[in-house]
Structure 1
């Protein structure tokens, strides 16, 4: 596939990530969106449906991961980078989802910021922001050898 076509398609997928963020209130159940947009230090902890919240977070996480995997694949055109993106994405989910559930059940008793940032890893494509520079650096270093 032509390099410029791949970059164009990656840009379209990045726009898809932007749309997921823009329409998050319409697409996903998340009572913590408003909670974290207000003064959450002194605000009331919101009521939530745990099952519905988990399903919506999982759906959003896998949607972001799918778009991220396609973006990495289009930018670098390497199967090993795609595999690493999937493995790291699943690893992040295994680590951060139980941690987030613990924070929810304790109403962020260890600190609201911890819950905020763990949640951010689950609902935003932070992984993509970490992996693209890492893969680019790896690609540059392997060219030098």
Structure 2
């Protein structure tokens, strides 16, 4: 195992760098992205009214963050599995998941206002965190083991 790790020093370095970049995105989220829901969900959001927000700016902030997380996640998956077909498939999956989540997010904001705060919280969480990476890693690892 250690021998194999030493042979792949470049991959280990790149993966470590990408993970650190994901951590930095999380650490500096308040400075990097427009998201009034960052402060909202830190409080007692079940009882508070939704914060005022600029829909277009929020869309671009969430999209940019999702894009950064996606690029880094795809990089991690590529350097772990070295499978271009899998990366192409996951890229398409990320695109469709983004469209589904962003439409769902804004539908909840527009149609449900303050009634579905917990659902809004979880949909937003999938948009701003690299949760799909956490789901895809074991799935693709298991698939690699089976083949």
Shorter-chain TM-score category?
over 0.9
Q: Matches of 2:121 and 2:30 in 1, distance apart?
A: 17
Structure 1 residue 44: deviation in Å? 2.5
Can you give the 5+ residue segments of structure 2 that lack an aligned partner in the other structure?
1-6
- TM-score normalised by length of structure 2: 0.91
Cα shift readout 1:71-90 (whole Å, capped 9, x = no counterpart): 10011111122112211111
Q: How many residues align?
A: 140
Q: Is the 8 A contact 1:99 1:118 kept in 2?
A: yes
Structure 1 residue 138: deviation in Å? 0.2
- Match status 1:99 vs 2:104: yes
- TM-score normalised by length of structure 1: 0.93
Q: Of residues 121, 132, 140 in structure 2, which corresponds to 1:127? A: 132
Q: Matches of 2:27 and 2:42 in 1, distance apart?
A: 14
Structure 1 residue 108: deviation in Å? 4.2
Closer, same or farther: CA 43–60 of 1 in aligned 2, 3 Å: same
Match of 1:29 in 2: 34
Q: Is the 8 A contact 1:29 1:56 kept in 2?
A: yes
Q: Is the 8 A contact 1:68 1:125 kept in 2?
A: yes
Q: Matches of 2:9 and 2:145 in 1, distance apart?
A: 20
Structure 1 runs of 4+ aligned residues shifted over 4 Å read none
Can you give the 5+ residue segments of structure 1 that lack an aligned partner in the other structure?
none
Q: Is the 8 A contact 1:108 1:114 kept in 2?
A: no
- Match status 1:141 vs 2:146: yes
Task: Please report the RMSD computed on the Cα atoms of aligned residues, expressed in angstroms.
Answer: 1.0
